[in-house]
Structure formats: structure tokens, C-alpha cells
Amino acid sequence: MASKPPMLWSLLRCKCPNCRKGNLFTQRSVFPLRSMLQMHTHCTECGAKLVEESNNGPGINFVLTTLLLFLNILWYYPIFGLSYTDNSVYYFLASSVSVVLLLQPWLMRLARSVYLYLIWMTRE
């Protein structure tokens, strides 16, 4: 148990929630996008079941997307500034949405990873 890599680190790198060594996805990278969500049904390292009956993270993906949308304010505000007196709020929203869309492939994978870790934690 002590030799396991840290949980958050494994979660972000989409590793098996049980041993934290095997990969969740068959592809290391999100490219090609067509097969980026293909997952191993069982962990290649420990054999833990990785595919659940409702194994998708649209709900969590939505949460992450919304979260990221607002987190964008952290870099946008110091650089460009926000004000209610001009259109900067709209520029912020537009740039925020483009960032979220660009990061979507990684968000979708991360959402599945988060979902599996949540299931795993409720089991223990």
C-alpha cells in the first residue's frame, strides 16, 4: 500500500484507481481524437475492472468544464483586466470558452478518471 503513487497524481495522469500503475486509456496521448476515449476493460497491471456499467463522465465533465470556465478568470483578470463599464466581460467569456473547447479532449479523459476514482473510493 505504501508504494502506491499519490492518489491525485495518478488521477490526473489517468492511472488505475486500484494499483495506480496501469493506464486507464489504451492511448497514451489524446491523439488521434477518434479513439482517445478507448479504455482498458481491466487494468493491465493488477487486473482490476475499469469499465463500469455507466462508465462515462458527462456529468463530471460538465462540472470540470464549468469549473475551468471560471478558473480562466485567474489568468485573464491579471493580464487583461475585467470591468463592467466596457465589453471586457464578453471578451473574457469568449476566451474562456475557447480555452475550454481546446482542452476538451483532456477534460473528457480526466472526467472519466475522476468518475472511476469516486466509484473506487465509495467501495472501500
Does 116 contact Zn ion by CB under 5 A?
Answer: no
Q: How far apart (Å, rounded) are the C-alpha atoms in residues 75 and 95?
A: 11
Task: Classify 47 in phi/psi space as left (phi over 0), alpha (psi -120 to 50) or beta.
Answer: left
**Residue 11 cell numbers, joined:** 488521477
Residue with cell 483578470: 77
Among 10, 11, 14, 16, binds Zn ion (CB under 5 A): 16
Residues 25-44 that bind Zn ion (CB under 5 A): 43
Contact pattern for Zn ion over residues 48 through 87, marking x by CB under 5 A: x---------------------------------------
Contact residues for Zn ion, defined by CB under 5 A: 16, 18-19, 22, 43, 45-46, 48
